[in-house]
Amino acid sequence: MDILDDLKYRGLINQVSDEEALREALKKPMTFYCGFDPTANSLHAGNLLVIVIMMRLQKAGHHPIAVVGGGTGMIGDPSGRSTERQLNTKEIVASYAESLKNQLDRFLHFDNGKATFVNNAEWLDSLSTIEFLRDVGKHFTLNYMLSKDSVQTRLEAGISFTEFSYMLLQSFDYLNLYEKKGCRMQVGGSDQWGNITAGLELIRKRGHEDQAFAMTFPLITKSDGTKFGKSMGGAIWLDPERTTPYVWYQFWFNASDDDVVNFLKYFTFLSKDEIEALAKDVAAHPEERKAQKALAREMTILVHGEEALKQAEHISQALFSGNVAELSGAEIRQGFKDVPTFKAQTKDSVKLLDLLVDAGVDSSKRQAREDIANGAIYINGERRTDLNDVLTEKDRIDDAYIIVRRGKKKYTLIQF
């Protein structure tokens, strides 16, 4: 199937400006772009959808341009927001832009000529107010701009002129890339439709004959209606320092049966036949979670690599089986990053009873005695029932950690 049919099968096309003409145009290599505003020093799981779509188009022979908004990031996109963005300094935006460039390079590979990276500060920083109003603003009526959803949804609460003008700046990006780099399509989330089609309008009004295109993709939500890309701990980041590969793996592995097949279509490069086979497994043997394992495996390799996948699977298996003593210090730091941690003030031996109270595992020595006597306390996966037990250096993993478990699931990490 061609690239448009593949995107349709995967449920990834929300709107297209002229599908018939686009299908014909995509028979030859086409340059297209997507923008990323640097509002943080890392992209997150929600951004991954459009990155994967750019990779799909790239694999089909087309040339992606990743535009990081070093200029527009100083303004803030009102799309999908109910309040004004907090404006960052130029230095912060520049540092975020550089971080995003490094992340995007992992997927698109800017150094081999098959993809291009640009920062729109290159042309927006030198754009004068008069030039902007004459060459861009003159082509848009207030009525046209007010009709866009990104503006309509903000009218009641209020929108500043700063964010109101964002649409024009993004339109100028498209025009500039069209004229300078032969870019004929902009892609983005469905909330970007108004901004993208404004770019088409500007290109048309500037008298260009070669047709330009717009394509958007659905904003992903989970089957229960909750926002995709969030967990109990907040956003799921691509940066391994912000979201460890283990947590990343678990995020995908914990996809519900109602979501997992769609996620396989959206995010992985598995074939239709492979996805359909996994869909049958979900229906026939959901307890085996084969589809979730495949999803977690594919997404962890894509973002973090084979070695990170091995670590994530090893941590998962150790926690499932209770054999946490098998873990290395590095794996413990990943798997227990969000677990309550107690930093011991001594390198000496310590009584188990005292440690349980000092670390907050138990509220009192009386409770600690009951838990030990009842077999509810585990040290590095091993049950301890001796009230006089003393923990020594031999109990420490990598001479730095002891993992305490109370009951089935309550973990506390002791760090020496």
Q: Are residues 97 and 190 in the same domain?
A: yes
Q: Are 165 and 240 in the same domain?
A: no
Asked, for residue 223, whether it belongs to a domain, the answer is no
pLDDT at 26: 96
Residue 368 CA to residue 358 CA, distance in Å, equals 11
Question: Range with the lowest mean pLDDT among 147-156, 224-233, 265-274, 314-323?
Answer: 224-233
Give 73-116 pLDDT, tens digit per residue. 888 777 766 667 778 898 999 999 999 999 999 999 998 889 99
CATH number of the domain bearing residue 360: 3.10.290.10
**Cα-based torsion angle of the residue sequence 353, 359, 364, 369 in order, rounded to the nearest 10 degrees:** -30
- pLDDT class for 117, splitting at 50, 70, 90? very high
Question: Is 224 within the bounds of a domain?
Answer: no
Per-residue pLDDT reduced to its tens digit, 33-50: 999 999 999 999 999 999
* Amino acid type, 249: Y
Lowest mean pLDDT among 78-87, 221-230, 400-409: 78-87
pLDDT band at 193 (very low <50, low <70, confident <90, very high): very high
**In this predicted model, what pLDDT tens digit does every residue of 123-137 receive, in sequence order?**
999 999 999 999 999
Instruction: Answer yes or no: is pLDDT of 233 > 70.
Output: no
pTM: predicted TM-score of the whole model, two decimal places: 0.88
Considering only 106-120, 169-183, 225-239, 308-322, which range has the smallest mean pLDDT? 225-239
78 and 161 co-located in one domain: yes
Average pLDDT over residues 337-355: 88
Indicate whether 222 belongs to any domain: no
Residue 413: helix, strand or coil by DSSP?
strand
If asked whether residues 364 and 391 sit together in one domain, one would say yes
- Average pLDDT, integer, range 399-411: 92
Residues 35 and 172 in one domain: yes
Of the candidates 195, 200, 194, 186, the residue with the CA atom closest to the CA atom of residue 34: 186
96 marked ligand binding residue: no
Strand, helix or coil at 146? Answer: helix
Shared domain check, 380 and 303: no
Q: Which residue among 321, 356, 390 closes a domain? A: 321
Q: What percent of the chain has pLDDT over 90?
A: 75
DSSP string, 195-238: HHHHHHHHHHHTT--S--EEEEEPPPB-TTSPBTTEETTEE-BS
Pair 295, 253: CB distance under 8 Å? yes
- Average pLDDT of span 24-31: 96
**Per the domain annotation, does 331 fall within a domain?**
no
Identify which of 222, 247, 207 has the alpha carbon closest to the alpha carbon of residue 339: 247
Domains in the chain, number:
3
Mean pLDDT of all residues belonging to the chain? 92
Q: What is the Rg, in whole angstroms, of the alpha carbon atoms belonging to the chain?
A: 26
**Do residues 316 and 353 share a domain?**
no
Is 166 labelled a binding residue?
Answer: yes
Residue 330 lies in a domain: no
User: According to the annotation, is 170 in a ligand binding site?
Assistant: yes
Residue 348 in domain: yes
334 in any annotated domain: no
User: Does residue 148 carry a pLDDT above 90?
Assistant: no
pLDDT on residue 232: 61
Does the annotation list 394 as a binding residue?
no
Q: Which domain holds residue 185?
A: 3-217
